[in-house]
Amino acid sequence: MLRRAGQSLCHFLLEKNSGAGRSWCSREAKMSRPVQARRLEGIDKNIWVEFVKLAATYSKVNLGQGFPDFPAPEFLTEAFSRALGGGNHMLHQYTRAFGHPPLVKVLAQFFEKLLGRDLDPMTNVMVTVGAYQALFCCFQALVDEGDEVIIIEPFFDCYEPMVKMAGGTPVFVPLRPNPPKDGKLMSSADWQLDPAELASKFSERTKAIVLNSPNNPLGKVFSREELGLIAGLCVKHDVLCISDEVYEWLVYDGKQHIRIASLQGMWERTVIIGSAGKTFSATGWKVGWVVGPDRLLKHLRTVHQNSVYHCATIAQEAVAQGFQRELMLYGKPESYFVQLPKELQQKRDWLVRSLDGVGMKPIIPEGTYFLVADISQFKSDVPDVPNSDEPYDHRFAKWMVKNKGLAAIPLSAFYSEAHKNSYTNFIRFCFAKEEATLKAANDILQKWKQEKTSS
């Protein structure tokens, strides 16, 4: 709050020469009344602002923020170029607000097959500015002041501030690690919800639960039984499900991504969220979508038409063509949805060996392109500071990027404020990276290990 009680406005005017010619550099006073809206309270901090800056400044190898450093597939960038070269300059103008017709049509066709139900491209699909904006529309459309929203920890960090901005109350339930007794490396499957604990979080104020499968940051792919558990509670308590499935194609070891909306009683209460950025390795295009019943999507449309209204046309055109190709190649070896997870699985395994080889204990992810590793054996390099405000893994990750040039994200970034100290010995790595990047990461880790053993 910027209340400044009854001061007169003072203007300090300094003449200053600058590249823009003569300019006035003035320290003008601010407005004296408080300016920002209360809905922004407690949501101004953001892990990415800090860590992206650190990575940009210090990192030699960036396994932090989740984006590929390999190129988007050629068929996609070619589709973009073709659209531009095609001479239809109307692709530079507004398209249909709720989604470019070719894109919503092909999304409907695709998801019809995946969900086994008829979909109307005009009412069951909406395009958004990335999955991020899809999440925003869900919370704004469906969460009112006083509503509770269940969030499974660890979670993609934006869920909490978005729920708060909508006036809702986040209610957290943790995935708990059950390490295998044989001393093998943990899998993301070993992190599980306690059914009784989950059930206890549902109250008459519960409006929705946010599900993210495959899960960022752990890489967990929820099993049919686990989804059945969540679905049962949603139906019992008449609760909505916001299902963030952006990593739907990135599942490994022959596992299957199951869509909770296909479970009994769930279609009518679920909004499915997807992302072209993750599907086609083009995060910078910011094309996402929601799929769901009209009676929920109509409210998302209202939010959308009163916030951004249209999404960029040309990116939607290219993504539509990308999906057309995938529709034709579905299930075939040349399908990008087959090739990408295959490539990423190899990279995953590479990074797992790399980390295991130096004493960081990776939790093997079943999906996504993230991997969380236990860094307890490296604690000596970054001593504990008792009574520190900052969780240990935060300080470790910062030290690591500054001193070793390797960027990663502390796991506590994915926990609520109250639970930031639950698991402070883990950091998250992104492995959607070129071989050279992963090799460079390995070199840094090997050198580090040698320094530790020799000291």
- Interacting residues with another protein between 2 and 31 (CB under 8 A): 2, 9, 16, 18-26, 28-31
**Which of 107, 125, 149, 162: binder of another protein (CB under 8 A)?**
162
- Residues in 67-96 at the binding interface with another protein, rule: CB under 8 A: 67-69, 71-72, 77, 80-81, 84-85, 89-96
H or E element at residue 12: strand 12-18
Q: Which is nearer to another protein, 184 or 342 (CB)?
A: 342
Where in 381-420 is the site for another protein (CB under 8 A)? none
Residue in 105, 310, 394, 433 binding another protein, rule: CB under 8 A: 310
**97 sits near another protein (criterion: CB under 8 A):** yes
Closest CB to another protein among residues 218, 311: 311
From 176-184, 195-203, 232-240, 347-355, give the range in contact with another protein by CB under 8 A: 232-240
Residue 95: other Cβ atoms inside 10 A: 20
- The single residue among 15, 38, 196, 387 that binds another protein, judged by CB under 8 A, is 38
Residue with tokens 């009344």: 33
Minimum CB separation of residue 446 from another protein in Å reads 27
Contact positions with another protein (CB under 8 A) in 268-297: 268-269, 281-286, 295-296
Q: How far is the CB of 409 from another protein (least distance, A)?
A: 14
> What would the 3-class secondary structure string for 196-229 be?
HHHHHCCCCCEEEEEEECCCCCCCCCCCHHHHHH
The H or E element spanning position 172 is strand 169-174
Binding residues with another protein: total (CB under 8 A): 114
Beta carbon nearer to another protein, 27 or 181: 27
Long-range contacts of 194-203 (CB under 8 A, 24+ apart): 195/229, 197/173, 198/150, 198/173, 198/229, 198/230, 198/233, 199/233, 201/150, 201/171, 201/173, 202/150, 202/233, 202/236, 202/237, 202/239, 203/148
The full DSSP string for 89-108 is GGGGS---TT--HHHHHHHH
Nearer to another protein, 415 or 448 (CB): 415
Query: Which of 149, 303, 320, 444 forms a contact with another protein (CB under 8 A)?
Result: 303
Q: Which of 206, 163, 172, 209 is nearest to 43 (CA)?
A: 163
- For 318, residues 6+ apart whose C-beta sits below 8 A from its C-beta are 76, 77, 79, 80, 83, 285
Least distance (Å) between residue 25 CB and another protein: 6
Q: Does 129 bind another protein (CB under 8 A)?
A: yes
Separation CA 153–CA 412 (nearest Å) = 10
State which of positions 313-332 bind another protein (CB under 8 A): 313-315, 330-331
225 forms part of the interface with another protein (CB under 8 A): no
Report residue 186 as tokens. 């943990």
Q: Which is nearer to another protein, 184 or 224 (CB)?
A: 224
- Point out which span in 45-53, 392-400, 404-412, 437-445 binds another protein (CB under 8 A): 45-53
Question: 38 or 181: whose CB is closer to another protein?
Answer: 38
Q: Which of 41, 292, 314 is nearest to 161 (CA)?
A: 41
Please report the beta strands in 219-311, taking only residues with DSSP state E, as ranges in sequence order: 240-244, 270-275, 288-291
